[in-house]
């Protein structure tokens, strides 16, 4: 183990709060492994150690990230998310396979999924938009986190009006997914896309509302005007 990782784990352990650890579990259906810390504290630790990590070669930093992921602790996954997004100026196309491996191997809850995909994957896709075709293939994965990642990786770009067609295509591929966390993921994507493309997202929802799970529908229309929300929520008999 790299001595830096050992120091990080020692500091995380010193800040662990049993009460936060206990309360954290209620936000997750699956069993999580965590020290019990507020996210702001974890981010502060990530930033603190980034000063030492930054001068290293990217591949070496990726190796440190993988070491953190292997522990299974949620807070250590948050440090990976913080570091990986700070490398965005140095992303290369072949990094996609590394990121895909991390998601498929180490992501085990929605918080780790969203923390990594929103920023790292979002920034990567903006640089290499053709990789969205790979996200579409993730929608067929047996791994629920890969399927959620297909949607939430486009959250930040969609919020700024980008990749509307691709976002709708991914939502369509996930439309009848039976996993509620996947439904919430693509519903969230539609919600963010609706900020700048309300009409297009509303039309998408209305054309598919009979087949779209109510969980996804509610997320998708959350930011829409009241009259559009009411129209979308009407039951068609």
Copy the structure tokens of residue 154.
């486009």
Dist CA 15 CA 38 (whole Å): 9
Dist CA 188 CA 173 (whole Å): 15
pLDDT digits (tens, 9 = 90+) for 181-223: 999 999 999 999 999 999 999 999 999 999 999 999 999 999 9
Q: Where are the domains of the chain?
A: 1-90, 109-237
Instruction: Tell me the pTM.
Output: 0.93
Indicate the CATH number for domain 109-237.
Answer: 1.25.10.90
The dihedrals phi and psi of 142, each to the nearest 5 degrees, come to -75, -15
pLDDT digits (tens, 9 = 90+) for 150-183: 999 999 999 999 999 999 999 999 999 999 999 9
């Amino acid at each position: 183990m790299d001595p830096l990782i050992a120091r990080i784990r020692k500091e995380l352990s010193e800040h662990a709060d049993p009460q936060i650890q206990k309360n954290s579990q209620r936000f997750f259906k699956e069993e999580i492994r965590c020290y019990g810390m507020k996210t702001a504290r974890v981010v502060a630790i990530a930033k603190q150690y980034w000063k030492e990590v930054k001068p290293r070669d990217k591949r070496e930093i990726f190796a440190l990230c993988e070491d953190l992921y292997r522990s299974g602790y949620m807070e250590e996954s948050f440090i990976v998310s913080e570091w990986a997004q700070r490398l965005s100026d140095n992303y290369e196309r072949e990094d996609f396979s590394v990121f895909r491996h991390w998601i498929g191997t180490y992501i085990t809850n929605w918080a780790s999924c969203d923390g990594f995909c929103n920023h790292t994957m979002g920034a990567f896709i903006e640089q290499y938009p053709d990789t969205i075709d790979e996200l579409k293939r993730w929608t067929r994965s047996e791994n629920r986190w890969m399927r959620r990642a297909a949607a939430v990786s486009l959250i930040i770009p969609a919020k700024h009006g980008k990749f509307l067609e691709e976002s709708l295509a991914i939502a369509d591929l996930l439309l009848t997914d039976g996993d509620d966390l996947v439904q919430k993921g693509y519903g969230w994507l539609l919600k963010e896309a609706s900020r700048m493309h309300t009409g297009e997202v509303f039309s998408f929802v209305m054309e598919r509302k009979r087949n779209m799970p109510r969980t996804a529908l509610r997320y998708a229309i959350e930011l829409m005007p009241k009259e559009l929300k009411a129209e979308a929520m009407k039951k068609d008999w």
